[in-house]
Amino acid sequence: MAEDIPFDRRFDAVAGVVDTVAPSVRRVLAPNPGPFTFTGTCSYIVGRGDVAIVDPGPEDASHLAALLDAVRGERVTHIFLTHTHRDHSGGLAALKAATGAPTYAEGPHRAARPLHAREAATLDSAGDGSFLPDVALADGARVEGAGWTLAALATPGHTANHMAFVLEQDGAILVGDHVMGWSTTVVAPPDGSMNDYMESLRRLGERPETLYLPGHGGTITQGSAFVERFLRHRQARETAILRALERGPRSIPDIVRAIYFGLDPRLAGAAGLSTLAHLEDLVDRGDVLTDGPALRDGIFRLP
């Protein structure tokens, strides 16, 4: 399944070093490598002179210093957020204090659906629940700067407030964590929604831009082809879940053991949450049954 996606893990960017990745875009990698962040979070600088920064990255003094050094002699006029996971938004307050630039994003961090009983305390701790943008962007909104225009493209799924930004001058899309070249995206309820994620993938794949600038890892030059592979991967994962349930009712840990092979133990929790996201969608469609709502500790069966 995931092995059918042509992942490129040969990402040699160095934290704190400025790389030009598109005619109007520079990238600065944050020093926060990990199993979910790959080699670190990518912050992007759009334009020259009067610039925008997309995703300030984690709360890290060295990364803030690298960003400010990269724009020395320039003026930061806008700060955009693709979403409010702290590896993207943690450095926002310090960057805003240093530059005075307003923030632009879809909206606050929130659950993708109403919470079930016992679930209130399980919202993703990586999410910045205190964030409010200075300017809330509707889908399709266009923000113009000095020689650049970013168009808002709502892409919920990884989080409810996930938003990509189309850089019209370069024919590129800053896709955040919605599509990455090194790994599939984690979709973790209740923050994320598999149905929303799949719809956002389809919408992204219908666009003409093929250059994607992701939140982690290197640039993707064949974006629409990648999206098609991701859609097929998720459809195959759904089929694998249904086949696992053909052998009888199962819990999520049982299903994960049946469908994930060679899984990094550090990713077992994420695999379980992605499986839950698929199961939520399958239960909503009536293809899988469970008692009550689809929950992490539920037992799932075929009709």
Q: Supply the residues annotated as catalytic.
A: 87
Q: Is the peptide bond before 58 cis (omega within 30 degrees of 0)?
A: no
Give the pair of three-digit tokens for residue 196: 């929303």
**Longest distance between any two alpha carbons in the chain, whole Å:** 64
* Cα gap 212→223, rounded to integer Å: 6
Q: How many helices and strands (H and E) does the chain possess? A: 7, 14
Cβ neighbors of 262 (< 8 A, separation 6 or more) are: none
Cβ of 265: how many Cβ atoms within 10 Å? 7
Supply φ then ψ for residue 298, to 5 degrees: -80, 165
Cβ neighbors of 125 (< 8 A, separation 6 or more) are: none
